[in-house]
A and B are shown apart, each in its own frame.
Chain A
């Protein structure tokens, strides 16, 4: 018997140096940001006081009314912003798909998408607050911009992946450009488009609870005010309400996806469905 061949798990020196460099960076960056152990320990002390002031959450009378008012406004902002965003994102996404549009259309469209995507909704909200004043309109504007960036980008990518055979077939039958779109292109991407839209509605709901921090309407303003007044039991109440709303939104978008993408029906949910595995799995989740 010969001696064993080379080590099956050789030491990867470049990777080791990489980890070393990473560790050095962490130490340097932590020093730059002024992280110290004593600060951390004193923070833990604070955390205890903070948590004890948070419990129990304050859902009493007028506070609950404020939460409901704020959350309703957030929800409205999210719905309106998603609707407007989807309507604008459809043509922009189509325009920026490089397999359908000529370069002189797709380039400007891509630029618009890049611009919409590069700023955080809160920064866009600040600009809108300056332009249209405090209130829900500014929040809607900011989230419309965010929706356009997200949906058009993914929609364009989905269109670029379609099979051109069906498009050719529809075109060969003498269809106009819009007929090609509605019968050749859209059926292929409808499912994914719906997925992006429900995701964006979810994400707008999350962000709409936050744009209020800069005065753009919704429950965020109430939350920020509660923080500034050290009203921590009210803060916890607002947070619990926000998380429950987002949970509900997530369940709703799961149902939506089941109906539109897996062709689920009401009777399908109660055991008569054909693909029982997914039904059972979904039932467990809820």
Chain B
């Protein structure tokens, strides 16, 4: 496609109008804007919307907060504390297991470490599938296999994290400099030594930062796994919610909030200190 204003601009160069993008670039951009707006309008018109539910929303929210206060603080000692420890264990063990599983997959996905394209694509397929299935859905799958409880939750966290850890670790490996690796190969180092002394020191900071970041995310994720029966603090919340004990739900929510903030602070602190 030729730009129609290019010919006219050639004729009277003085009145030439400068544009950042060609006609085609502008056209395709506006096509995208148009699609976005059209999709939004179609969604808004098609979606099921019950206005009656919205009318009493303020009253409902007020009622909700009124029922939350005062909080049933005794509930913390009774069942939240143990569930919280279980949540943290699920998050940590899940992260460790995911690292164990993701490192080989990430290595397979790195093109410079494994120069064999079909294997790279196979590894990438594993990583994408792991990320596409939500942790709650992974939890449902593992509950069907291992029964409800923390085992299903840990495996769900681990399998959900493989995609994230493996993708970032593989990308870090691909960014490694050739120099040290060539030097090691030139002196005849075995494959394992090339990895531990050539690649590993280069990806080590990225590796720890990925692991910490994922742990932080997993603390959040493991807090909801209990809603489908996969152990942790979500179970305590589910129980309280099914009994309409909103004062107990409030305790759980506050606990999750504090733990999530603490986890983020710890991760930032370790990052500053170590990396």
Contacts and interface: CB of A to CB of B under 8 A. Distances in A.
B133 A131 contact: no
B86 A243 contact: no
The listed residue with most A CB atoms (<10 A of its CB), out of B64, B92, B144, is B144
A39 B133 CA distance: 25
Interface string A253-275: 00010011001011100000000
Contacts, number: 154
A239 B138 CA distance: 11
Contact of B40 (A79, A114, A267): A79
Contacts of A209: 134, 137
Interface residues of A, number: 63
A34 B227 contact: no
Contact of B49 (A50, A137, A207): A137
Interface of A: 9, 22, 25-26, 29-30, 32-35, 39-40, 43, 46-47, 50, 72-73, 75-77, 79-80, 83, 114, 118-120, 122-123, 126-127, 130-133, 135-137, 206-207, 209-210, 213-214, 217, 223-224, 227, 232, 239, 242-243, 246-247, 250, 256, 259-260, 263, 265-267
Nearest to A81: B43
B204 to A, nearest CB: 11
Contact of A123 (B1, B21, B224): B224
A80 B132 contact: no
B221 A131 contact: no
A45 to B, nearest CB: 9
A43 B150 CA distance: 13
Contacts of B147: 43, 46
Given A210-B136, A266-B24, A259 B253 contact: no
B53 A137 contact: yes
A73 B43 CA distance: 8
B260 to A, nearest CB: 5
B132 A246 contact: yes
B151 A33 contact: yes
The listed residue with most A CB atoms (<10 A of its CB), out of B53, B57, B133, B137, is B137
A-B complex: 7 closest residue pairs judged by Cβ atoms: A76-B43, A33-B150, A133-B53, A43-B146, A29-B89, A210-B134, A265-B24
Given A33-B154, A120-B224, A122-B224, A77 B47 contact: yes
Interface stretch (B10-18, B25-33, B102-110): B25-33
Nearest to B117: A284
A11 B3 CA distance: 67
Task: Classify chain B: how many residues form its interface, as a range.
Answer: 35 or more
B74 interface: no
A76 B93 contact: no
A47 B145 contact: yes
13 contacts: A35-B151, A43-B146, A46-B145, A47-B145, A79-B39, A80-B44, A132-B60, A136-B47, A207-B134, A217-B48, A239-B133, A250-B128, A263-B25
Interface in B147-176: 147, 149-151, 154
B25 A243 contact: no
Interface string B73-96: 000000000000110011011001
A73 B146 contact: no
B43 A79 contact: yes
Contacts of A242: 132-133
Interface of B: 1, 21-22, 24-25, 28-29, 32, 39-40, 43-44, 46-50, 53-54, 57, 60-61, 64, 85-86, 89-90, 92-93, 96, 128-129, 132-134, 136-137, 140, 144-147, 149-151, 154, 197, 220-221, 223-224, 227-228, 231, 237, 241, 253, 256-257, 260-261
Contacts of B237: 123
A83 B149 CA distance: 38
Contacts of A34: 149-151
Contacts of A83: 40
Nearest to A80: B43
Contacts of B132: 206, 242-243, 246-247
A213 B50 contact: no
Contact of B136 (A50, A75, A122, A126): A122
B224 A131 contact: no
Nearest to B232: A33
B260 A213 contact: no
Given A239-B133, A243-B133, A213 B49 contact: no
A35 B86 CA distance: 12
Contacts of B93: 26, 29-30, 33
B14 to A, nearest CB: 25
A131 B64 contact: yes
A207 B136 CA distance: 10
Contacts of B261: 114, 118
Contact of A76 (B47, B92, B145): B47
A211 B253 CA distance: 18
B86 A118 contact: no
B221 A120 contact: yes
Nearest to A250: B128
A116 B185 CA distance: 50
A25 B228 CA distance: 27
A50 B221 contact: no
